[in-house]
Structure 1
Amino acid sequence: MTLDVELAGGFGEKGRTSVVVGREGQRVMLDAGIKVGATGRDYYPRPLTPVDRLDAVLISHAHEDHVGALNWLLSEGFRGRILMTAETRDEAPATLAAYGEQALVEAYPFPADRIELFRPGDVLDVAGFRIATGRSGHVVGGVWFALEDDGTRVVYCADVVPDSAVFVMDRMPECDLLLLDASYGADPVSGHERAQRIAAWIAERAGGCLLPTPLSGRSLELVAAMPGRFAIHASMREHLLAQIEAVQALKPGMPELLRARINAALDWKDGEALPDCPLLADDGMGRAGPSSRLIPLADAQGFPILLSGHLPAGTPGFELHAKGRADWIRMPTHPTLAGNVEIWEHAGRPAVLGHSCGPDEIARLGEHIPALQSGRRTGDRLVVGQEVL
């Protein structure tokens, strides 16, 4: 049996992550993200299958580059099943409100009544395919997908973190094609070392500093790395504590540690003086949420700013860093080099494609993973099975 794979977004680029897998008569989409910094048609995925012929869309987690195109899918006539975890369902409306086109958000609101829930670890029957899921290590409720049909299996990592200090990642099965989270290319620096660098940077700024961060995922990684007292934007508290209640997603001891640190954190509200300690505020780029107001405020007052994730061109974080007015230390929330090599080896050293990074980075990763096809791009279609790729 062979499977068709359409690279609908995120290949040779960062953002609008989306893959369509199917066979004659059945097609499922795995993730439907947007591309921050792009405009017009390039903001959305580019599936080769017409949207109204997709049987289902499965969402790995609620970050904008994986769920932000859901309103667009509905506007294009998508009528199929929509599957995600409860945590993703709870977070997705806020993501869509922040990153979706306002006209589409209003005309095609989040379809709460159509959402089908599953739990990480469940095996799903969707359009005749057997789809296994597992915890991603990236965010609470985040998953990877392993789609199988008559002995042919495609594994789509979505966003995973093999060496997270906070979250659990389940091992993925062997497969014929691995769609790897290549967000960091061949970056060899471990998450533990990066966390130490961030803690040292914070400790050197006794008068306080601003750390923009996504509301889920990296926020808890930063809380775990904090060297002392810190503040959070008051609007984050309830959400952070809710994430910690999903104890099955966290490593042993982490729920207690994170709860104690968040309970001790100061609440900061808009209009108050900037604190004399580290301040966490979402989002990580300054494009939405409290950080969209805090980044220009901190910059105007000479309050140190540390960015720790992806910075799409044109975002406030990107602009400040380019001008030398904000520092950047990556807090890994995707696999570094050793993690991706290990994922590939555990998957049986199959054929590999990498998503969520540009051509130069994917080429460097290919120097370490011989089976990586670094020339694949969004818009390509391939066949997996008896005639692999």
Structure 2
Amino acid sequence: MNVHIRFLGGAGTVTGSKYLVEHEGQSLLVDCGLFQGFKQLRLRNRDPLPVLPNHIGAVLLTHAHLDHSGYLPLLAKEGFHGKVWSTAATRDLAQILLPDSGHIQEEDANFANRKGFSKHAPALPLYTEEDALRCLKLMHTVPMGKAFEPLHGWTARFTGAGHILGAASLLLEVGGKRILFSGDLGRPDDLLMKPPESPPAADVVVIESTYGDREHPEEDVLAELAPALQRVAARGGTAVVPVFAVGRAQALLHAIAQLKAHGDLPHSLPIYLDSPMAVHTTGLFSRHLGEHRLNAAQCRDMEHAAQMVTSVEQSKAIAQQHGPKIILSASGMATGGRVLHHLALHLGNHRNMVLLTGYQSPGTRGATMASGSPSVRIHGQDIPIRAEVVQLASASAHADASQLMDWLRASPSAPHRVFVTHGDMAASDALRQRIEHELGWRALVPEHGSTWAA
């Protein structure tokens, strides 16, 4: 019986990654992500999977970002009771990310019900904080590079992917097939993370394509960040910086610490990290020394680069402070969380700035602001955009198109087929064409819900 891969997410879009691998009546899920962005994508989160959760034998997580892990509490709530395998750092991050995701969904549903702007009565969260805490009991860790058996007769191994703490590529061996899932690949020159490891030989490769049609600029993030923050500070404004709590927040804190040390930013400029999740994540770097580029002293500098804000009262107090300030707050595409309140408060003033720090998925508020729109909808209100909107081109934690190609070129042998996933359609198809033309390998962009033989 053949090995099959069913693309239940991350196909034709950059979120919701879920790959169901099936062989002889057994199946496991590689990644278990939430859809984000356009409403029609987000609605997929509420659609039942085409396989019963209790028929899935295991879940293997490449990393902890919600577009790869955020569906897990719902999967467990609906009957999945197998093991969830990951690296130790991914487990540590999931313990922060998933309960926070459930808490935010509960808060957003309660806020919608209070304000009456939901079309559902009542608005219900996809899952709760308690659901997320329960699913964490299913997690089991394995060291990077060590072979393990997620199901009887199936062998798996994680290898370093850069990108964020704990992120891995995954080699799965089953039914005589070697299937390599890239996960999200980091940059060779990332500020925080080590470069991705070279890929092992595989029959089939499933590769992400977030930046499949783009190249990162030569300019580094320090050179791009400094003038933007200097500009907003000089005019006494507030910079609101939507950040991913895992990875992007820490990269910017490290960059800001360096800018202050070099005298490019005044030491007196107030910096706030307003995200309990990002605050807790920042502390993990000291616990995982050796898995990233920073030494112990640099980890401490990063932790002290901003005032750490955890309570709602502290968050509200930031709004009362006059004078220039920088507020880093989750989420990175302004899809939810505390950053929405800061944006609603500061977008209308021309002295202020919104600093977008990387890829903005179509349909998100971040993409709306990046597009030059005159307004953005927040909490049922259209908020005028008078603040300066700056999009950093150099802060991404994803490999660009040429770096993705370099990773593939390092394969010891040519795979029989490459599936190009986890990208917008234009990015995925551009990478597919490069793979076919430059490497001469068979490549395709699978459709959502499609099934292919490995």
Above 0.5 in TM-score? yes
1:231 to 268, 271, 275: 271
TM-score, length basis structure 1: 0.88
Mapping of residues 238-387 of structure 1, within 5 Å: 238-251=280-293, 253-267=294-308, 269-270=314-315, 271-272=317-318, 273=321, 276-302=324-350, 303-322=352-371, 323=373, 325=385, 326-330=389-393, 331-347=395-411, 348-350=413-415, 351-370=417-436, 371=441, 373-384=443-454
Cα-to-partner distance string for 1:11-39 (whole Å, 9 max, x where unaligned)? 11121111111311221101111111335
**In 2, distance between residues paired with 1:334 and 1:105?**
30
Shift of 1:125: 0.7
| Counterpart residue number, 2:94 | 89
SS of the residue corresponding to residue 347 of structure 2 reads helix
Shift of 1:361: 1.6
Q: Is the 8 A contact 1:2 1:152 kept in 2?
A: no
**In 2, distance between residues paired with 1:158 and 1:44?**
24
| Counterpart residue number, 2:62 | 60
| Counterpart residue number, 2:53 | 51
**In 2, distance between residues paired with 1:377 and 1:108?**
30
Whether 2:179 is the aligned partner of 1:154: answer: yes
Structure 1, unpaired ranges of 5+: 385-389
| Counterpart residue number, 2:160 | 135
What is the letter of the counterpart of residue 359 of structure 1?
M
**In 2, distance between residues paired with 1:374 and 1:198?**
37
Cα 1:97–1:129, aligned 2, differ >3 Å: closer, same or farther?
farther
Shift of 1:44: 5.8
Cα 1:332–1:274, aligned 2, differ >3 Å: closer, same or farther?
farther
| Counterpart residue number, 1:387 | none
| Counterpart residue number, 2:21 | 21
**In 1, distance between residues paired with 2:28 and 2:322?**
47
| Counterpart residue number, 2:216 | 189
| Counterpart residue number, 1:35 | 35
2:128 to 105, 115, 125: 105
What is the letter of the counterpart of residue 105 of structure 1?
T
Shift of 1:135: 2.5
What is the letter of the counterpart of residue 279 of structure 2?
R
**In 1, distance between residues paired with 2:414 and 2:279?**
42
The worse-fitting range, judged by mean Cα deviation, of 40-49 and 326-335 is 40-49
Q: Is the 8 A contact 1:51 1:73 kept in 2?
A: yes
What is the letter of the counterpart of residue 297 of structure 2?
E
Q: Is the 8 A contact 1:134 1:145 kept in 2?
A: yes
Mapping of residues 63-78 of structure 1, within 5 Å: 63-78=65-80
**In 2, distance between residues paired with 1:45 and 1:136?**
31
What is the letter of the counterpart of residue 294 of structure 1?
H
Whether 2:248 is the aligned partner of 1:218: answer: yes
Q: Is the 8 A contact 2:356 2:391 kept in 1?
A: yes
The worse-fitting range, judged by mean Cα deviation, of 7-16 and 88-97 is 88-97
**In 2, distance between residues paired with 1:298 and 1:315?**
18
The worse-fitting range, judged by mean Cα deviation, of 307-316 and 54-63 is 307-316
Whether 2:206 is the aligned partner of 1:179: answer: yes
Equivalences, count = 383
**In 2, distance between residues paired with 1:45 and 1:5?**
20
SS of the residue corresponding to residue 346 of structure 2 reads helix
The worse-fitting range, judged by mean Cα deviation, of 53-62 and 88-97 is 88-97
Q: Is the 8 A contact 2:23 2:175 kept in 1?
A: no
| Counterpart residue number, 1:119 | 143
Shift of 1:109: 4.2
Cα-to-partner distance string for 1:50-69 (whole Å, 9 max, x where unaligned)? 33211111222222211121
Cα 1:365–1:45, aligned 2, differ >3 Å: closer, same or farther?
farther
Q: Is the 8 A contact 1:61 1:67 kept in 2?
A: yes
Shift of 1:382: 1.1
**In 2, distance between residues paired with 1:336 and 1:147?**
25
Shift of 1:315: 3.6
**In 1, distance between residues paired with 2:322 and 2:419?**
44
What is the letter of the counterpart of residue 89 of structure 1?
A
What is the letter of the counterpart of residue 64 of structure 1?
L
1:167 to 193, 196, 219: 193
Radius of gyration: which is bigger? 2
Cα-to-partner distance string for 1:130-155 (whole Å, 9 max, x where unaligned)? 11002321221222211012542111
Q: Is the 8 A contact 1:64 1:96 kept in 2?
A: no
Cα 1:257–1:327, aligned 2, differ >3 Å: closer, same or farther?
same
Identity score, percent: 18
Q: Is the 8 A contact 1:10 1:17 kept in 2?
A: yes
Cα 1:249–1:98, aligned 2, differ >3 Å: closer, same or farther?
farther
Q: Is the 8 A contact 2:162 2:186 kept in 1?
A: yes
